[in-house]
Amino acid sequence: MTITYDPDVDAAYIRFVDGEHQCTTVRISEEVAVNIAPGGKVVGIEVLDASRNLDIVRGAPGIHLENLRVV
């Protein structure tokens, strides 16, 4: 997983799958869009106005993964 932030446009992107993919974009709200690959796999999530919507942009408190098993 990769999380990137572009301060010029105040947008964050959380990428779950590496590489190029043909995606369908589903808008969840004005600020959130989900990119879905064929077969229903979630490729990534875009968050606009990220400094307002995500705490990770303000002070970068860290990321906590719970109940994640590496396979």
Q: How is the chain split into domains, by residue range?
A: 2-53
Q: Is the pLDDT of residue 58 over 80?
A: no
Structure tokens that stand for 61 in this block: 């408190």
61 compared with 18, residue with greater pLDDT: 18
Burial 21-48 (b: 16+ CB within 10 A, else e): eebeeeeeeeeebbbebeeeeebbbbbe
**pLDDT tens by residue, 6-33:** 889 999 999 998 888 899 999 999 999 9
Half-sphere exposure (CA, 13 Å, Cβ side) for 48?
A: 9
